[in-house]
Amino acid sequence: MKQISGGITAVPGIRASGVHGGLKSDNQKDVALIVADSPAVAAGVFTRNRVCAATVLLSREHVDNQIAQAIVVNSGNANACTGEQGLNNARKMADLVAEKLEVDPKNVLVSSTGVIGVQLPMHAIMRGIDLAADALCEDGGHDAAQAIMTTDTVPKEVAVEVEVGGHTVRIGGMTKGAGMIAPNMATMLAFLATDANIAGAPLQKALGRSVDQSFNRVTVDTDTSTNDTVQILASGSARNPEITGASGKDFNAFCLALEFVCTELAKKIARDGEGATKLVEVVVVNAKNEAEAGSAARAIAESPLVKTAVFGKDPNWGRIMMAVGKSEARFDPYRVDVWLGDYQLVKNGMNSGFDEEKATQLFSQDTVTITANLNAGTAEATMWTCDYSYDYIKINADYRT
């Protein structure tokens, strides 16, 4: 597998665009369009929040036939908690794209992100779709990645090449997300494309597996959005022998590459968490089972006291022990070891005698890795988060104003 440039349009047969329709101020891009040259196999994973955006409801319906040719996304407005009018507006988005591209409206997937509880300004949506359709190009992935941003500070893109069945397959993707992030189909939008020749059922299985190991391992602030969506289009133009089942060498090779793309995108979300100054990787090893490892890792990653200590460069290891202890993991507290990178802070549940100055320096790095060894079994889990800074409060206090 080789990482390549180009994001979602690194995949042959995929065009994209990102334009300013008028939902955002200052001419910021706010409508994105992703189009396959011909109908593609499609799969999707969506929010588990009971309060779902209209676009989630519509896309769930459209992706059921496992075929799609276009994805349209707007930022600046979530189209959530907008009732029947919101659902009609989501359908209108699909209809407008279908008309411009001369495709079936049921083959158009729709996503929105932004402020909840406000009706879409359809004049801006209509203008944006017109402009986006006219701007479609083979290197438009970066513009599209910019157009889906809300409080993100940077666009987020990843692409790879991998050999599947003796053929070169490409997978590219983009995501947005910086706040309202928690591991329950982590709060974000992500769009992926591949030229792999793969049937609908194994594509859905591969996507679900990849989401569980990536986007569902990210947490910023414990909140899960109304609009969480991950969608993928598979054109089949790589002409590898068709992957028809969720097993075997070719399926596993595809899954590993897809999981890599999703994981790298997920880490970009954590690194760009609202107000974040550091990416924090939390690893729990030697738990009794994977569920308990995940529970312990999440408890550390979501602890405001741990996250603020990381921001303050304070090696306050007691907060890590507290967080592990409140999780569902079963362990002997006096067998726990805690490491900061490769430097031990805690040995057998107590201060290891570490050097405070050295530990503070390690907390000053752009990426901080916290490892908790429970010494209770053989299972492990990893989660990604970020620190809490003063700016997190500022960003969210001023979100609508």
* Nearby residues of 50 by Cβ (< 8 Å), 6 or more positions away: none
**Assign residue 83 a region: left if phi > 0, alpha if psi is -120 to 50, beta otherwise?**
left
Residue type, 76: G
**H/E element, 375:** none
Q: Is residue 401 flagged as an active site residue?
A: no
Rounded to whole angstroms, what are the CA distances from 340 to 280, 283, 320, 348, 375? 11, 10, 11, 15, 17
Of 187, 194, 226, 382, the catalytic one is 187
DSSP 394: H
DSSP 307: H
Are 90 and 54 in contact by the 8 Å Cβ rule? The answer is yes
Whose tokens are 């990604």? That residue is: 384
Are 48 and 33 in contact by the 8 Å Cβ rule? The answer is no
Tokens of 246: 């969720």
Are 339 and 362 in contact by the 8 Å Cβ rule? The answer is no
In terms of Cα–Cα distance, which of 281, 284, 383 is closest to 336? Answer: 284
> Which residues are part of the catalytic machinery?
187
